[in-house]
């Protein structure tokens, strides 16, 4: 039983980690905590559902197009909503993301209504994988595999590509990055685009486990922030490991303490980490020079 709980927690943690990675990419480059990340993913998931149900595209095509839609959505939001606020107080941009959260939720409700939908999955009826005699649901295996692929690809992208190096330079010192020819506006747009893309992947993976509605990503966003705080919001690896730990802790607490206590674990983690180690377990104190 413990093995099943741990694997289920890792699968849930990978979903938290995808949203957490999307948040951290934007946060580290722009200093903006994007509270609209969940609603961006929700809107993209609804778009994917419409491509399958309304247009008739197969799952793989619909999801591929939706992921590109998530990328474009992030760039458009940065250009239209965030770019005019660059140079002003960061709090203004954060408040703008809170407003965007409500706007996107209302737009999705206006188009698709507030009823629930069943989101299809090609893995729903797949036979479970066996690992050491422990059956593991196919969707859990997919979540873990996709989470690992995303963290590896993002780490390699940031370390070994010119665009990635530009993003890292902008996150360290924007003034020096400008002197080196890095466009802060462009890196900000790329960061928002990557965040939208990764969030879209999380949305289409979590939707089959839940009913698709306008509140799909609300709880996931909070848990992604909690896992990020636990691991360290300035470290992709830290966020990934923190979200995995949170997912496992929630499953174990729900099974051995009380099912209603599982969600409380999220807030206990946030409070404890902020009190004892604000930068997170794997994070570091970040000194930013103007």
- Taking the C-alpha atoms of residue 136 and residue 233, their distance in angstroms, rounded to an integer, is 30
Question: pLDDT tens across 266-282, in order?
Answer: 788 778 887 888 777 77
pLDDT tens for each residue of 50-102: 999 999 999 999 999 999 999 999 999 999 999 888 778 888 999 999 999 99
How confident is the model at residue 289, as a pLDDT? 47
Query: At residue 286, does pLDDT exceed 60?
Result: no
The radius of gyration computed from the CA coordinates of the chain, to the nearest angstrom, equals: 19
For residue 230, what pLDDT is reported? 87
Residue among 52, 21, 28 nearest 200 (CA):
21
Q: How far is CA 196 from CA 9, 25, 75, 84, 202, in A?
A: 24, 10, 8, 19, 10
> Whole-model pTM?
0.88
What is the pLDDT averaged over residues 171-189?
76
Per residue in 110-164, pLDDT tens?
999 989 999 998 887 788 888 777 778 888 889 999 999 999 999 898 888 888 8
Is the predicted pLDDT of residue 7 greater than 90, yes or no? no
């Amino acid at each position: 039983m413990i093995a099943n709980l741990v694997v289920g927690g890792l699968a849930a943690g990978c979903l938290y980690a995808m949203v957490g990675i999307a948040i951290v990419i934007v946060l580290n480059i722009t200093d903006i905590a994007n509270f609209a990340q969940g609603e961006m993913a929700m809107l993209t998931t609804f778009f994917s559902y419409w491509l399958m149900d309304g247009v008739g595209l197969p799952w793989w095509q619909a999801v591929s197009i939706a992921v590109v839609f998530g990328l474009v959505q992030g760039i458009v939001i940065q250009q239209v909503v965030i770019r005019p606020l660059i140079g002003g107080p960061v709090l203004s941009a954060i408040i703008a993301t809170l407003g965007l959260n409500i706007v996107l939720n209302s737009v999705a409700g206006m188009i698709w209504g507030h009823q629930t939908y069943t989101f299809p999955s090609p893995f729903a009826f797949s036979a479970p994988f066996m690992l050491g005699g422990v059956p593991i649901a196919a969707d859990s295996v997919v979540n873990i595999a996709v989470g690992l692929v995303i963290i590896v690809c993002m780490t390699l992208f940031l370390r070994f590509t010119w665009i990635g190096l530009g993003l890292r330079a902008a996150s360290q010192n924007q003034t020096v990055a400008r002197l080196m020819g890095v466009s802060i506006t462009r890196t900000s747009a790329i960061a928002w685009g990557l965040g939208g893309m990764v969030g879209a992947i999380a949305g289409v993976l979590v939707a089959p486990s839940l009913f698709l509605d306008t509140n799909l990503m609300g709880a996931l966003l909070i848990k992604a922030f909690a896992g990020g705080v636990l691991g360290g919001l300035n470290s992709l690896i830290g966020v990934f490991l923190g979200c995995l730990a949170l997912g496992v802790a929630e499953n174990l607490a729900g099974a051995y303490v009380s099912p209603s206590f599982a969600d409380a674990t999220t807030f206990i983690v946030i409070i404890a980490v902020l009190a004892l180690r604000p930068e997170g377990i794997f994070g570091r104190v970040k000194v930013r020079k103007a």
